[in-house]
Structure 1
Amino acid sequence: MAFRNRQSMIQWMQTPGIIPNCPPGLEYLTQINQLLVCQRFDLLEVLGCFATSKKYEVMNNQGHRIYYAEERSNCFLRYLCGPSRPFTMTIYDNVGRDVITMHRTLRSSCCWRNCYVQKLKVEAPPGEKIGYVYQYFHPFLPKFKIKNENKEDVMKIRGPCMLSSCVTDLDFNLLSLDEEIVLGKISKKWAGFMRELFTNADKFGIQFPLDLDVKIKALMLGASFLIDYMYFEHWP
């Protein structure tokens, strides 16, 4: 597995101790208020030779690796469905343990991207639901709801009207349910003109309150993956 081949080359964040009432593997998230999600550069995809599954590295603000994420999807559906494809995203910790699993099912689509609803189910540990990320319809803005394991709304995410990242960072704000308070954000980082033009190696910054529930932090991580696929991935 790619994870094990890279393990000895990586500086990982120190493993925290066990925390009561915290899903195993999410203890890391209790100590941080920022994440940096970097897609790994893939030369085959850049050259247009092959539609590869995505891989990401998740780091803290000091550049220490927290998680490694790997997409599992059908090769045929990667070509047929492109960014709309179903996938399972598995997230590993520093010992190779599966700590978070995210499932996106195949949803109906149309030419106007905001006219259908996407959703992501998040499990931590795998097999135990902690919540969902649901897109909901808005004629102009990307909007999402973060739901708990009982599908009750807990927070919202609102993106910008213009989704071109070729000139600046783009912020998707984490909001209270009444949309009056900004609690955090997911930012698509601009990597520079040449890189944006010739690669799909996206980078996201995630900010949230330090004392935010770790399950919601994990759901924000899932939302960053869903946003990446929906708005910033190109067809092979």
Structure 2
Amino acid sequence: MQMQNTQYSDWMAKPQGIPGCPPGLEYLTQIDQMLVRQKKDCMEIFTGWEQRNRFEIRNALNQMFFYAQEESTCFQRQCCGPNRGFVIHVTDNFGQEVLRFRREFRCCVGCPCCADSCNCAFEVYVETAAGEPIGKVRQGQSCWVPEFRIMDGQGNQTLHLQGPCCVCDCCADFEIQTLDKSQTIGTVKKKWRGVATEMFTNANTFTINFPMDLDVKAKATLMGAAFLIDFMFFEQQNN
């Protein structure tokens, strides 16, 4: 049996297993807010050499329950920047992998005006550690405001994510809307972390709010949406 990671004294207690809930995602049944905090890398700050991103995932009490680390090639990190392909591995406080966020590298993608018509949308696939699909985030087609589709494992859209007309460090609030866009049920917000952090690093922090009773797979997919927003809008400007 693996011992609990004692490096952090503020880990969230692991809930009991829940029937129908993918193993490891029981934490998400007990929260209505998560904080996705990117860790600063000293080597990247002083050398400008792009390193693999690392994240802490915390609840509203600032208790950590997931740790995430990017897997990508050095070539793509230096030459492709935020457009690189990646796999983000998410582990719990026992070191067990519970989630994967995967984006394949593709050339000539990201144009919001022709995301659907030319099939050039950014996509992030959300999978269990065993590779079972549980969701997908797909960039929507829009020439005015950034939009994303939150989908389930079968490719059916369940939620809509809409951003502001101008995305910047001080204006990065994305509304989580119902499928028909008639109701806002939560937000994905970038948190301002101070002048020094914002100017000299790409260590960003996102706060995600959602209903407590939202399906855990949808909550996990919204985490993937925060990663995609980070790569699309905030990874480049600080490099």
Q: TM-score, normalised by structure 2?
A: 0.91
- Rounded to whole Å, the distance in 1 between the matches of 2:80 and 2:6 is 32
Residues 142-199 of structure 1: CA deviation (Å, up to 9, x unaligned):
111011111011111001111111xx35211111111111011110111122221111
Name the counterpart of 2:17. 18
CA 1:177–1:194: 2 relative to 1, 3 Å: same
Distance 1:51 1:82 in 2: 8
The alignment partner of 1:9 has SS state of coil
The change in CA–CA distance for 1:119 and 1:197 in structure 2 (over 3 A counts) is: same
Q: State the 4+ residue runs in structure 1 displaced beyond 3 angstroms.
A: 110-116
Contact 1:169 1:190 in 2 (8 A): no
Distance across 1 between alignment mates of 2:167 and 2:35? 20
Report what 1:179 is aligned to: 181
The 3-state SS of whatever aligns with 1:83 is helix
RMSD value over aligned CA atoms?
1.8
Distance 1:206 1:26 in 2: 16
Q: 1:10 to 1:87 in 2, by over 3 A?
A: farther
Q: What is the aligned partner in structure 2 of residue 128 from structure 1?
A: 132
Matched-pair contact (CA < 8 Å) for 1:71–1:89: yes
Match of 2:154 in 1: 150
Q: Secondary structure at the match of 2:158?
A: strand
Q: Is the 8 A contact 2:112 2:139 kept in 1?
A: no
**1:66 match:** 65
Please, which runs of 5 or more residues in structure 2 have no aligned partner?
Answer: 115-119
1:82-97 to structure 2, matched below 5 A, reads 82-97=81-96
SS in 2 for 1:100: strand
Q: Structure 1 111/230 Cα, relative in aligned 2: closer, same or farther at 3 Å? A: closer
Percent of counterpart pairs with the same letter?
40
| Worse-matched range after superposition: 87-96 or 101-110 | 101-110
CA distance in 1: counterparts of 2:140 and 2:19, whole angstroms = 34
Distance 1:111 1:99, change over 3 A: closer
Residue 232 (structure 1) aligned to one of 217, 231, 234: 234
Task: Summarize the Cα distance change of 1:217–1:164 in structure 2 as closer, same or farther, 3 Å threshold.
Answer: same
Q: CA deviation at 1:46?
A: 1.5
- Classify 1:195/1:15 alpha carbon distance in 2 versus 1 (closer, same or farther; 3 Å): same
1:1-236 equivalent positions in 2, closer than 5 A: 7-109=6-108, 115=114, 116-165=120-169, 168-234=170-236, 236=239
Q: How many aligned residue pairs are there?
A: 230
Deviates more, 1:44-53 or 1:77-86: 44-53
Q: Which amino acid aligns with 1:223?
A: A
One-letter code of the match for 1:12? W
Give secondary structure in 2 for the equivalent of 1:56.
Answer: strand
Q: Which stretch shifts more, 124-133 or 16-25?
A: 124-133
Secondary structure of 1:103's counterpart equals strand
